[in-house]
Amino acid sequence: MHLTAESRRRLDRFEQLSVLVLYGWLLSRLWPEAAAAGGYLAVLLLLLSEGLVCVLLVIRRPTSNISVNLEDWVVAAAGTFLPLLVSKGGEPVLGALGLFLLVAGILAHLSAKLMLMRSFGLVAANRGIKIRGPYSYVRHPMYAGYMLTHVGFLLASPSLWNAAVYAAVWTLLGARMIAEERVLNDDPKYRAYAQLVRHRIVPGIY
């Protein structure tokens, strides 16, 4: 699909607005639960983690080099929306481990987001290649952090519903990695980076 640069920039702005609306919806669902539980820590940490996404989307660098592939938009939208469907589950299973993984995952993807800063986005796009910090170990440290966060939240707030949500999210994360690399591989800087950093989310494994 061929779109003008201005049309692509409008798509970029549409992505920002959509995520802000979704975060407001998540906040309206989970904040009352956290307040009723006296500051339920896992929920509060999840809201903090997702809130940073909104901040980075507001300050990010605009681009016209964004995918116009409908499949990429569907995958990004579903991958962003589905994690917001989790809810407070039952009694914690290995609750201390769950909170540790939740915090570790948040720190991991926060470090990746802070390295990206104004290059952050959801739909596959090229806003600049980052090769330092966590990106010197794996090509998708943000997604690695998300996965740790998901496992941690599931242990701290277990339910079959939450497990099903995260299983679907992990499938979508794999599709998002492929979409992002397809767009970024048009940039010779990224191809050179991928030759140096071979693994996507787990050093030495995958």
- Per-domain residue ranges of the chain: 5-196
Phi first, then psi, for residue 8 (nearest 5°) are -65, -40
80: its two tokens: 């962003």
Distance CA 134, CA 131 (A): 8
Q: CB of 95 within 8 A of CB of 156? A: yes
Q: What is the pLDDT along the chain (206 residues), one digit of tens a residue?
A: 566 767 767 777 777 777 778 778 777 777 776 556 554 676 777 777 777 777 777 777 777 778 888 899 899 888 878 887 888 778 888 878 988 998 899 889 889 988 988 788 788 888 889 999 999 999 999 999 999 999 998 998 899 999 999 999 999 999 999 999 999 999 999 999 999 999 999 998 99
Distance CA 112, CA 132 (A): 10
Sequence-ordered list of residues with C-beta below 8 angstroms from that of 38, at least 6 positions apart, any chain: none
pLDDT at 60: 74
Q: Count each helix (H run) and each strand (E run) in the chain, helices first.
A: 7, 0
Paired residues of 125 in beta bridges: 66
pLDDT at 137: 95
- State the Cα torsion 164-87-41-36 to the nearest 10°: -160
Query: What's the predicted TM-score (pTM) here?
Result: 0.79
| Side chain identity at residue 139, one-letter code | R
pLDDT at 53: 75
pLDDT at 174: 95
pLDDT at 34: 59
